[in-house]
Amino acid sequence: MPTIHQISSEHLEISTIGDIIFQQQKIELSASAIEKIKKCRVYLNERMQAQDDPIYGINTGFGSLYNVKISRDKLTELQENLVMSHACGIGERVPNEIVKLMLLLKVQSLSYGHSGVQLDTVQRLVDFYNNDIFPVVYTQGSLGASGDLAPLAHLSLPLIGKGEVEFEGKVVEAEVILKKFGWEPMILQSKEGLALLNGTQFMSAYGVHLILKSYKLSYLADLIGSISLDAFDGRIEPFDELVHLVRPHKGQLKTAERVREFLDGSELITQEKAHVQDPYSFRCMPQVHGATKDTLEYVLKVFMTEINSVTDNPNIFIGDDKIISGGNFHGQPLALALDFLKIAMAELGNISERRIFQLVSGLRGLPTFLVDNPGLNSGFMIPQYTAASIVSANKQLATPASVDSIVSSNGQEDHVSMGANAATQAYTLINNVERILAIELLNASQAIHFRKPLKSSPFIESFLKMYLLDVHFIKQDVVLHDSIITTLQFIDVFCIENDLLFD
């Protein structure tokens, strides 16, 4: 039976999220979360009965329509209209693994008791999560400012029996799923539609997913870079701890330490060298890979703060008897962090492609394009082209989205973060980095074969032995697309089996 994670006010760590995802844990509301949700809803109901003054989004219109007062008998219609009218996303579908994270993070944010939602509404989101019911959400439509309005509207539509969901691999109308489980459509009360749509869970879900993946790729970049260094007959001296203690950036120290560990016991790295220095793509791995590690640490801090926060509007403070309309839905912290993540991860791909280029260039005793009989065989000529193409695409994707802002809602929402665009760009970019690293591993494995009978370290030899079970040494031209795809599958399995997701 899967273990159960209780949603509470306890700080949600990245490792906990990783456990929830990869152990396929179910979730449930803790007793304290249930109490907070109920108390906040009771307070809001009593407050609405006791006063007739307009409270933004509760008995008024939205955005630039904030001055339009709505009568009490229209409040449910107001909230449902909000969800329907804002469900205007377009483009590609958001992957199910990110939709599931959106559900988890929306439940987490609503559980703090500052949003005024019904307990039943939050419980229905929990039910969707636990039964792998994935609302169909689209990648385009959010400005990342008044929350992720369009994506969260699509996430919320199935609650009221509208929109589509994917269940057991099929996309069906939401009302079909509600009937299957014996659920009635939710009747949204005052504030609920706004609580569901305001929030940063689209950006946050992408960010969490990409942070987990980026830590994996950071480890792989160090490992694959170390294999390339050995295959290129590189020098170990630039990784000496003394060099990095006099410029002690944390990520730089960590990278150098890893490379030393990966290459410990290598016959290749300790043999006498004919050259005094290596190209920067090898020699400066600690400085370049390390800077990405330091960026990841910053990005992680931003997202851990965000997912443990209340990001809808207005916020309800029972103890202070206040309902305050603020701006916690604005995605600027996330937009900047996602843009920084894009730049940092793009550089891992950039330097990896340079190592690929060096390996196929016929230098240091390696055959041109890493194949016997070059000319008859093109060998590894074109995988470098592929890597270069991806690197170029990443340079365009890495352009910051957060430097843009377009006025919306008749000027009421006059500055937006564009963090949702940064999120989807980062998703494409980081998947691209994985492909570049796979191409480097393919090249490095091929190159190190030509160094026999000398061996690399026991660790690398063991790693390559596993890899060569899936991707064999190439003696003459083959369809290298297949080898790249198999390499991608290998490194995914390797990271999961060796618990490298948080290293």
Beta bridge partners of 316: 323
Neighbours of 47 (CB within 10 A): 18
Neighbours of 274 (CB within 10 A): 8
Which of 130, 84, 83 shows the shortest CA–CA distance to 104?
A: 130
The Cα 149–Cα 199 span in angstroms is 8
Whether residue 194 contacts residue 180, with contact meaning beta carbons closer than 8 Å, is answered with no
Which of 447, 492, 441 shows the shortest CA–CA distance to 222?
A: 441
The Cα 454–Cα 43 span in angstroms is 74
Given the DSSP bridges, would you call strands 170-173 and 164-167 parallel, antiparallel or unpaired?
A: antiparallel
For the chain, give the number of residues: 503
Beta bridge partners of 143: none
Which of 390, 392, 383 shows the shortest CA–CA distance to 357?
A: 383
Write the CB contacts of 465 (distance below 8 Å, at least 6 apart in sequence).
none
Among all chains, which residue has been given the structure tokens 């809001």? 44
User: Which of 56, 112, 129, 215 is labelled catalytic?
Assistant: 56
Backbone CA torsion sign across 227, 228, 233, 239 = negative
The Cα 226–Cα 236 span in angstroms is 10
Structure token digits, residue 326:
């603020």
CA angle at 324 for the pair 140 and 327, rounded to the nearest 5°: 30
Q: What is the CA radius of gyration of the chain?
A: 26
Which of 450, 503, 294, 23 shows the shortest CA–CA distance to 494?
A: 503
Ranges assigned E (strand) in 368-474:
none
Q: Which long-range contacts (CB under 8 A, 24 or more apart) does 365-371 make?
A: 365/233, 365/450, 366/231, 366/232, 366/447, 366/450, 367/450, 370/443, 370/446, 370/447, 370/450, 371/446, 371/474, 371/475, 371/476, 371/477
Whether residue 238 contacts residue 226, with contact meaning beta carbons closer than 8 Å, is answered with no
Task: Reply yes or no on whether 129 is catalytic.
Answer: no
DSSP conformational letter for 225? H
Indicate the residue type of 192: E
Whether residue 318 contacts residue 113, with contact meaning beta carbons closer than 8 Å, is answered with yes
Which of 357, 359, 351, 381 shows the shortest CA–CA distance to 231?
A: 359
Indicate the residue type of 436: I
Tell me which residues are annotated as active site. Answer: 56
